[in-house]
Structure 1
Amino acid sequence: MSVSKLIIGLLCAVLCACQPGGNTTKNEDATDSLASQVVTVKSLREDSIVIAAVGDIMLGTSYPNASTLPPDGGKRSFNAVMDDLKNADLTFGNLEGVLLDTGAAAHYKLHQKSKAYMFRMPQKYVWLLKDAGFDLLSIANNHIGDFAGAGRASTMKMLDSAGIRYAGLRSHPTAIINVKDIVIGFSAFSPNSNTVPFLDLKNASRIIGELKQQTDIVIVSFHGGGEGTEFEHVPFKTESYNGENRGDVHAFAHNAVDAGADLVLGHGPHLTRAVERYKNRLIAYSLGNFCTYRGINVTGLCGIAPLLKINVNKKGEFISAKIIATQQTHPGGLKRDTTKRVIKRMKFLTETDFPQSGLHIDDNGLVTPVN
């Protein structure tokens, strides 16, 4: 397919998108051998699907007190990019924290050697996520354990109440969603307690392979790699941070695709990393800090992140993508970045870390295959 056709296809996909946030329904006929949940997302496009993917979301924390919550109750959190989130067939993000109104922090967290960050979002904030169009969230990360079992249980309860699907806990490793009669499976992994193990590649292959047998397209999310600007590049080896094994993200991503994943979405380093095309599937190694309120550093490179609109065919094969540049400041919040810094950075990182990736990123953020 020519680059011009790819561009036209992507523009048509974006312009014709409907808003899935308010019209999800249960699919009563779907089977669920992996204890996954099923919903249907309606769409106008028939030849491909568009997936909106973002990184870390933490809409303020009520711990230790309400001073670290946004003064407007988070109502304007996603305003700058609301249309882009909702105008997709499926919208994904990483929920960096729990949905819980009250409760004590996990005992082990309070005794960590490094400064403990506790992210406890009010339960009602689930409707901010719902109204922004999120259909699918990863809860496989280090902050899902901030308030122990109560935090995990409350988070799942609230996401269920809003009809937002999620995966990443050992008790809830996968989810299944129908998009335009395409069955999409989702699994999420992390090196943290009570989450689906990121470091066990054999087990990951099993979960992904079983999910692939039930679905047409498999999306895999992972929380891995070191944190901070010194971890901007994919190192092609095991990473450690504060004495913790954060895994080999490159080995995990390739293992996931080999096992049947069609799209791999990373987060964890709190900044953006490169993208790669492997076996005609897209891998995004870190989507950075997308929408956070205090508690997370958003200075410099940590304050820019992509909203990635990914176009794949019904087999999950990569067609094209669009990087929408965003930036954050505290307390200014999430905004579009007219200087397109994250586009420039992703282009540089991809060309540096994956010179043979088979991807071209232009100055406006259009990502296309080159061979």
Structure 2
Amino acid sequence: MINCFTLLFVSLASLLMPARAELVFVGDAMQHQSQLDAARTASGAYDYSGYFSAVEPYIKSADFAVANLETPLGGKPYSGYPMFCSPDAYARALKDAGFDFLFTANNHMLDRRDRGLKRTVSTLDSLGIPHVGVYANSAERNKKLPMIVNVNGFRIAMLNYTYGTNGINIQGDVVVDYMNYPDIERDVAEARKAGAELVCVCLHWGEEYHLLPTVQQKRLADKLTDLGVDMIIGGHPHVIEPMEMRLSKRGTPVFLVYSLGNFISGMRTTDTRGGAMVRVVLERDSLGVAKVSDATYRLVFVVPPGHGESNYSLIPAEASGPKSTEAWRKGFWHNAKKIFDRHNVNVPIDTLPIDSYASSGELGTKWPKKIRKTVCRLKNK
């Protein structure tokens, strides 16, 4: 009787548990001085409404959306390059746009030194935005890691590392996860031991403004593939770099993107005026084993103020923008597509109109939170 009940219980949980989840990753979410100036209102507040409106359907339709926060939230005074510091309203805008999670290990996270890092951590915590990469102290890191998120029943470990922090050294007890292979290897092993079905590693690496990965990037990507990492998400170059669907030594699919480029920034060269958003599909095979099954990309372009708008905004790069920015948009689109068409491996462009994602939450993989929480409780018993 007990065995029959157990089998029925497991079967019911399996039927309730979605066999698919969709993740969206975007590149560097930045705040240059021109962005701060444009967002500042007459009252001294910062308004980011409309920043992401044109791409929100794509972000919000995902079961889990992730961005790289490449600026500390260190409090006033705010500043752009080279020592970034942004208002809390920027993080709220990212959350309102549909982002569920932020990577924080990057070369600018110590721009306001230890105090700025600690304030960034506490601000994100107070806003209810999960994050990984930097920590107020080692005790906090030990408590948070392994960071395993439950997305439609898929248990995914989120790890994040940076090559450095622009020569700024840690003065106190804060922790930055620097890119060191033995540390990554240890963290991946601990995540698997803690029950992670899939492992996602975000790396802040490479050479700025290079459209192709360096030898060092390729070597580390190969090592992480052999280690069994399922998703390798790259950033830092501020331009796009190729992406691949490849196989590990065990024959499991691995998604790799060397650089997603800029998500939104105040940079002005052709290749830095936009970036890529990727949609990674997770599925379970007939035995219930989780795997990466598919990935597609689409390009986004940054429209600065002064072109019919008072603030910065993002648009799908395939869509026409203000006439005054069309030459830039076409140049960015041409260069990015050329790189992806030549160097991508089994990662095609998403050709669906972005507005088609607006109602996908009703028909796609997003289950009501009540059902997801119930299933998670059943699974964890």
Question: Normalising to structure 2: TM-score of the pair?
Answer: 0.69
**Residues 192-250 of structure 1 deviation map (CA, whole Å, 9 limit, x = unaligned):** 1452121x21221111121122211111100001111xx11123x2xxxxxxxxxx222
CA contact (8 A) 2:75 2:116 kept: no
| 1:349 paired to 2:339 | yes
CA distance in 1, matches of 2:128, 2:48: 20
Kept in 2, the 8 Å contact 1:185–1:217? The answer is yes
User: Which whole-Å CA distance do the structure 1 matches of 2:277 and 2:258 have between them?
Assistant: 14
Which letter does structure 1 place at the counterpart of 2:339?
Answer: L
Answer with 152-161 or 338-347: which moved more. Answer: 338-347
User: How far did 1:100 drift?
Assistant: 2.6
Change (3 A) 1:362 1:125: closer
User: In the alignment, is residue 206 of structure 1 matched against residue 186 of structure 2?
Assistant: yes
Q: Which residue of 2 aligns with 1:86?
A: 60
Aligned with 1:178 (options 150, 174, 179): 150
> For each residue in 1:23-51, what CA deviation from the matched residue of structure 2 results, as whole angstroms up to 9, or x when unmatched?
xxxxxxxxxxxxxxxxxxxxx98121100
The yes-or-no answer on 1:322 pairing with 2:296 is yes
Match of residue 213, structure 2, among 229, 234, 239: 234
Offset from partner CA, 1:96-121 (integer Å, 9 cap, x none): 1011322699xxxxxxxxx9612211
Task: Give the % identical residues.
Answer: 25
State which drifts further: 162-171 or 342-351. 342-351
Query: Which residue of the other structure, out of 63, 85, 91, is the alignment partner of 1:120?
Result: 85
Paired position in structure 1 for 2:169 = none
Contact 1:167 1:175 in 2 (8 A): yes
Give the CA deviation at 1:329: 3.2
1:306, 1:350 → 2: CA distance? 10
Indicate whether 1:158 and 2:123 are aligned: yes
Distance (whole Å) between structure 2 residues aligned to residue 365 and residue 320 of structure 1: 15
2:259 alignment counterpart:
286
CA gap of 1:85–1:220, structure 2 versus 1, over 3 A, is same
Say which one has the larger Rg.
Answer: 2
Q: 2:133 aligned to 165, 168, 172, which one?
A: 168
Aligned-partner residue type, residue 181 of structure 1: G
Seen in structure 2, the aligned counterparts of structure 1 residues 89 and 151 have a Cα distance that, compared at 3 Å, is same
User: Matches of 2:68 and 2:105 in 1, distance apart?
Assistant: 8
Provide the aligned length of Structure 1 versus Structure 2. 292
Query: For residues 124-135 of structure 1, what are the structure 2 equivalents within 5 Å?
Result: 124-135=89-100
Q: Aligned partners of 2:295, 2:75: CA distance in 1, in Å?
A: 38
Question: Unaligned regions of 5+ residues in structure 1, if any?
Answer: 1-43, 106-114, 238-247, 367-371
Matched-pair contact (CA < 8 Å) for 1:61–1:120? no
1:349-368 matches, within 5 Å, as 349-350=339-340, 352-353=342-343, 357=345, 359=346, 361=348, 364=351
The amino acid of 2:261's aligned partner reads G
User: Are the equivalent residues in 1 in contact too, given 2:150–2:156 (CA < 8 A)?
Assistant: yes
Distance 1:338 1:104 in 2: 33
Amino acid at match of 1:142: N
Q: Partners of 1:365 and 1:267 in 2: how far apart?
A: 25
Q: Which residue is equivalent to 1:216?
A: 197
1:252 aligned onto 2:209: no
Would the aligned equivalents of 2:296 and 2:347 in 1 still touch at CA under 8 Å?
A: no
- 1:74 matched to which residue of 2? 48
Summarize the Cα distance change of 1:346–1:337 in structure 2 as closer, same or farther, 3 Å threshold. closer
- Offset of 1:349 from its aligned partner? 2.7
Q: In the alignment, is the contact (CA less than 8 A) between 2:26 and 2:260 conserved in 1?
A: yes
Contact (CA 8 Å) 2:235, 2:258: kept in 1 or not? yes
Range that drifts further, 206-215 or 216-225: 206-215
Q: Tell me if structure 2 keeps the 8 A contact 1:62–1:122.
A: no
CA distance in structure 2 between the partners assigned to 1:148 and 1:104 by the alignment = 14
- 1:101-153, Cα deviation, whole Å (9 max, x unpaired): 22699xxxxxxxxx961221112332212111111111010111110111111
The aligned amino acid for 2:270 is G
Contact 1:306 1:343 (C-alpha < 8 Å) held by counterparts: no
Separation (CA, whole Å) in 2 of partners of 1:80 and 1:337? 11
Matched letter for residue 62 of structure 2: A
Amino acid in structure 2 at the alignment position of 1:184? I
Given the superposition, is the C-alpha separation of residues 120 and 62 from structure 1 closer, same or farther in structure 2, using an over 3 Å criterion?
Answer: farther
Of 341-350 and 69-78, deviating more is 341-350
Moved more, 124-133 or 334-343: 334-343
Higher relative contact order (CA 8 A, sep 6+): 2
Q: Which whole-Å CA distance do the structure 1 matches of 2:128 and 2:39 have between them?
A: 24
Judge conservation of contact 1:61–1:122 (CA < 8 Å) in 2.
no
